[in-house]
Chains A and B, each alone.
Chain A
Amino acid sequence: MNSITPASIVLLLPLFSAFTILLLHKQLKGAAALISIGSSAVCAIVAMIMLGAKDTPFGEPQHILSFIHLTDTINFDINAIIDGQSRGMLFIVTFIGFLVHLYSHGYMKDDEARPRYFGSLSMFMFSMTGIVLADNLVMMFIFWELVGLSSYLLIGHWFEKPSACDAAKKAFLTNRVGDFGFMIGILLLFGLNHGSVEFADLADSFKNGPLHDVKEHHQWVITAAALCIFMGAVGKSAQVPLHVWLPDAMEGPTPVSALIHAATMVAAGVYMLVRVSFLIGASEFAGEVIAGVGGITAIFAALMAVQQNDIKRILAYSTLSQLGYMVMAVGLGAGEAGMFHLYTHAFFKALLFLGSGAVIYACHHEQDIWKMGGLNKQTPATYITFAIGTAALIGVPFVTSGFWSKEGILGAAYEHCKILFAIGAFTAFLTAFYMTRLMIVAFLGKPRTDSASHASDPPLVMVGPLLVLSILSLTSALPIVRERLQAMVPHEHHSDAHWLIVGVSITALVAGVALAFKLYKGKDKDPLNIPLFANKFYVDEFYAGLVKYAQDRLAWIVTGLERIFVDGLIARLPAAIACRIGSAARSLQAGHLQGYTFLLGAGIVLAIYVAVFVLPRIGG
Chain B
Amino acid sequence: MSPLEIVIFLPIVASLAIWLGAPARITSITAALINLLIIGGIALGFDGSKLAPGEFAHVSSRVVLENPAISFAVGIDGMSLILALLTTLVTFAAVWQIVAEKDKVFHIASLLISAGALGAFLSTDIFFLYAFHELALIPTFLMIALHGHGDQATRRAVAWKITVYLGLGSLVLLAGLAALVLNLSEGPTLTFDVTALAHKSASLPAATQAWIFFVLLLGFGTLVSLFPMHSWAAPAYATAPTSVAMLHAGVLKKFGLYGLLRIALPLLPLGAQAQWVQQALLLMLLGNILVMGLVTIHQDRLDDMLANSSVMHMGYIFLGIAAGTELALKGAVVLMFAHGVSIALSFALCGRMRNQLGTLEFDKLGGLATHAPLLTVIFAFAAFASIGLPGLANFAGEVMVFLGTFDSKLWSPEKLNALQWTTILSLWGVVISAVYMLRAYRKIFFGTAASGLYMKDPAFSQRVPLVLLAAVLLIVGCCPGTLLDLIKTAWAAAKVAGL
Identify the A interface with B (CB < 8 A).
22, 65-70, 74, 76, 138, 141-143, 145-146, 149, 156, 159-160, 162, 165-166, 169, 172-173, 176-177, 179-180, 183-184, 187-188, 190-192, 194-195, 214, 217-218, 221, 551-552, 554-556, 558-559, 562, 565-567, 570-571, 574-575, 577-578, 581-582, 592-593, 595-597, 599-601, 603-604, 606-608, 610-612, 614-616, 618-620
Contacts and interface: CB of A to CB of B under 8 A. Distances in A.
B396 to A, nearest CB: 6
Contacts of A571: 161, 165, 231
B139 to A, nearest CB: 10
B131 interface: yes
Interface in B404-434: 405-408, 411, 413-414, 420, 423-424, 427-428, 430-431, 434
Given A156-B446, A596-B142, A610-B178, A604 B134 contact: yes
Given A70-B327, A558-B294, A616 B68 contact: yes
Interface of B: 65, 67-68, 70, 127, 130-131, 134-135, 137-138, 141-142, 145-146, 156, 159-161, 163-165, 167-168, 170-171, 174, 178, 181-182, 185, 188, 190, 192, 227-231, 291-292, 294-295, 297-298, 326-327, 330, 367, 369-370, 377, 384, 389-391, 395-396, 399-400, 402-403, 405-408, 411, 413-414, 420, 423-424, 427-428, 430-431, 434-435, 438-439, 442, 445-448, 479-481, 484
A619 B399 contact: no
7 contacts: A146-B389, A146-B391, A176-B430, A195-B408, A562-B291, A578-B161, A603-B171
The 3 closest A-B pairs by CB, nearest first: A142-B390, A191-B411, A165-B446
Chain A interface mostly helix, strand, loop or mixed?
Answer: helix
A565 B430 CA distance: 25
Contacts of B229: 570
A158 to B, nearest CB: 10
A28 to B, nearest CB: 14
A562 B367 CA distance: 33
B434 A68 contact: no
Contact of B447 (A22, A68, A162, A619): A162
A599 B160 CA distance: 10
Contact of B190 (A141, A194, A616): A616
Q: Which of A141, A173, A562, A612 has the most CB of B within 10 A?
A: A562
B160 A592 contact: yes
A615 B181 contact: yes
A202 B402 CA distance: 19
A106 B334 CA distance: 45
Nearest to B434: A176
A592 B145 contact: yes
Nearest to A139: B390
B163 A596 contact: yes
Given A70-B330, A145-B389, A604-B131, A169 B439 contact: yes
Contact of B178 (A159, A183, A581, A614): A614
A559 B430 contact: no
A141 B67 CA distance: 56
A194 B327 CA distance: 13
Given A183-B402, A554-B294, A612-B68, A600 B370 contact: no
Contacts of A179: 430
A145 B390 contact: yes
Contacts of B405: 187
A187 to B, nearest CB: 4
A67 B447 contact: no
A600 B131 contact: no
A582 B160 contact: yes
A611 B70 contact: yes
Contacts of B406: 187-188, 190-191
Contact of A194 (B160, B330, B411, B420): B411
Contact of B413 (A146, A214, A552): A214
A583 to B, nearest CB: 12
A179 B67 CA distance: 57
Contacts of A566: 227-228, 230-231
Contacts of A559: 294-295, 298
Given A70-B327, A614-B178, A159 B445 contact: yes
Given A551-B435, A556-B298, A608-B131, 7 more contacts: A67-B481, A149-B389, A169-B442, A173-B431, A190-B406, A194-B411, A554-B294
Contacts of B411: 191-192, 194
B445 to A, nearest CB: 7
A47 B481 CA distance: 30
Contact of B294 (A138, A555, A578): A555
B174 A187 contact: no
A160 B160 contact: no
B497 to A, nearest CB: 11
A536 to B, nearest CB: 22
A552 B297 contact: yes
A559 B167 CA distance: 25
A593 B171 contact: no
A575 B158 CA distance: 12
B298 A574 contact: no
Contacts of A218: 413
Q: Which of B137, B167, B420, B445 has the most CB of A within 10 A?
A: B167
Contacts of A146: 389-391
A616 B414 CA distance: 50
A558 B293 CA distance: 10
B164 A578 contact: yes
Contact of B159 (A156, A596, A615): A596
B131 A607 contact: yes
A173 B480 contact: no
B462 to A, nearest CB: 18
Contact of B431 (A65, A180, A217, A619): A180
A595 B430 CA distance: 40
Contacts of B146: 593
A68 B399 contact: yes
Contact of A165 (B145, B230, B447): B447
B178 A615 contact: yes
Given A593-B145, A596-B160, A159 B434 contact: no
A194 to B, nearest CB: 4
Contact of A574 (B130, B164, B391, B447): B164
Nearest to B141: A596
A600 B367 contact: no
Contacts of A599: 163-164, 167
Q: Which of B327, B435, B479 has the most CB of A within 10 A?
A: B435
Contact of B142 (A565, A593, A603): A593
Contacts of B291: 558, 562
A168 to B, nearest CB: 8
Given A190-B406, A194-B408, A160 B327 contact: no
A338 to B, nearest CB: 26
A190 B229 CA distance: 34
A582 B167 CA distance: 13
B484 A70 contact: yes
Given A600-B163, A604-B131, A612-B68, A180 B427 contact: yes
A76 B395 CA distance: 13
Nearest to A170: B438
A619 B230 CA distance: 34
B384 to A, nearest CB: 7
A586 B377 CA distance: 49
Contacts of A22: 377
B430 A180 contact: yes
B295 A558 contact: yes
Nearest to A578: B164
A169 B402 contact: no
Contacts of B137: 600
B141 A600 contact: yes
Contacts of A578: 160-161, 163-164
B445 A597 contact: no
Nearest to B423: A187
Contacts of A567: 231
B480 A68 contact: yes
